[in-house]
Amino acid sequence: MADNISVKKIRPFTVFVEGNIGSGKTTFLNHFANADVQLLSEPVEMWRNVEGHNLLGLMYENPSRWGLTFQTYVQLTMVDLHTRPAAYPVKMMERSIYSARYCFVENLVQEGLMPTCEYVVLDEWFKWITSHLDTGGDLIVYLRTSPEVVFERMKVRARKEETHVSLQYLTKLHELHEDWLFNRTKFSCPAPVITLDANRDINEMEEEFRKCEPKILFQQQ
């Protein structure tokens, strides 16, 4: 009878994998594919096809027209990932509602691509969501790169929507990640941060990834 009183929702140990576009977040997640970890990739495919609309493409084509639409949808898909139950004791997410807000939305505003009234509405939603729902994390893995390195990787990857993404844009996003996660001069960090040098090539990165395993799989300090 007391069952539903004693049932307490306990969040799994939750890791956010953060870093610039092309910093290797997907590769980091894949490293844990055979471990007892619930892996939640960023829903880029959903952003590319919302009932036939490519919101990611629209945002890149005309950010001042579609920025709010895109960020609203990103925020919704992030809430879905944050609140999704995990079948494993560890849950690992590619990005979070926090990087969407502190890096991407912030960039749109600072570049004059989003009017203050739109920003305020998004921010009100962000504050409501993060104070009423469990969007918390226990660890952030920051894949730290230089903008030049990710610019080269992005060109090789050649994602259609990113054709016109400039080094300047990646530099701006880099600075916003740095302010948030490395210098900690702006915005609070929702969890302790481990920083990895993600400029190194993929074989060397595997070694870096292995060093994180005890912290992630066994929550060792």
Task: Identify which range of 16-24, 118-126, 128-136, 188-196 contacts ligand DGT by CB under 6 A.
Answer: 16-24
Judged by CB under 6 A, which of 46, 130, 146, 162 binds ligand DGT? 162
* Apex 102 CA angle, 19 and 147, nearest 5: 35
According to the 3-state scheme, what is the secondary structure of 17-80? EEECCCCCHHHHHHHCCCCCEEEECCCHHHHHCECCECHHHHHHHCHHHHHHHHHHHHHHHHHH
**Residue numbers 108-137 binding ligand DGT by CB under 6 A:** none
Kindly state the helix (H) or strand (E) to which residue 193 belongs, with its residue range.
strand 193-197
- Rounded to a whole number of angstroms, the minimum distance from the CB of residue 149 to ligand DGT is 11
For residue 87, which phi and psi values (nearest 5 degrees)?
Answer: -85, -5
Stretch in the footprint of ligand DGT (CB under 6 A) among 14-22, 30-38, 128-136, 207-215: 14-22
82 binds ligand DGT, rule: CB under 6 A = no
Handedness of CA 193, 138, 105, 53 (dihedral sign): positive
SS3 150: helix
> Which region among 8-16, 22-30, 32-40, 175-183 touches ligand DGT (by CB under 6 A)?
22-30
Q: Does residue number 23 form part of the binding site for ligand DGT (CB under 6 A)?
A: yes
Specify the DSSP element, H or E, that contains 195: strand 193-197
Set 18, 42, 94, 118: catalytic member? 94
For the question of residue 94 being annotated catalytic, the response is yes
Residues that bind ligand DGT (CB under 6 A): 19, 21-26, 42, 44, 56, 59, 70-71, 74, 95, 100, 104, 162
Catalytic sites, residue numbers? 94
